[in-house]
Structure 1
Amino acid sequence: MAIKASATVQIDEPHVRVTRWTFEPGTSTGPHVHEYDYVVVPVIPGTLTMVDANGDHIAEMKLGESYSRPKGVSHDVVNRSDAVVSFVEIEMK
């Protein structure tokens, strides 16, 4: 069984949810499907692995370089590196 990454909900309102995700080495979100469009803002840069139906994809989380994805994305986010990685996820409800 995988060890879960730390998720701290900072804001949860009718129109938006903001969650800080912190990935210690060897942790993951677990497989999930995004219910909402979302934006990711890296706060501790590093390398994460996105695991989906098409295989593994390396994601370089660069400090201050945000990206967005549409609802429906289905993946597991895994920290296979030796360093802590963290980002803030902003979901538009």
Structure 2
Amino acid sequence: MQRYHGKKVILCCQISQIDNGQVRVMTSDKGEVTVQGGATPYEGRFAEVLGTVVNPNTVQELEHLNLADNFSLEMYNELVKLAHKDSYIGMFST
């Protein structure tokens, strides 16, 4: 997340804790991030968050999508790793 400071990102994550407008989440690579400013409630265990990186541990939410409880963070992490390989980077970013 350090490389994306001030940029929009999509973060698929598992909800750990919700407290006073801040949501603690676990990312697909087992990191912990605080999501701030969500206007709609989170439902279920997993979510896809669109937001702006404030610092390496914080994302300011623009919107989120609740995901099914059978979402696999492990499989998603494999996709992220593939998307960041040099041979595939142009397919997943602009």
Whether these two folds match at TM > 0.5 is: no
Give the number of the structure whose alpha-carbon radius of gyration is greater: 2
- The structure carrying a bigger helix percent of its residues is 2
Structure ranking higher on relative contact order (CA contacts 8 Å, 6+ apart):
1
Superposition TM-score, scaled by structure 1 size: 0.27
Superposition TM-score, scaled by structure 2 size: 0.26
- The structure carrying a bigger strand percent of its residues is 1
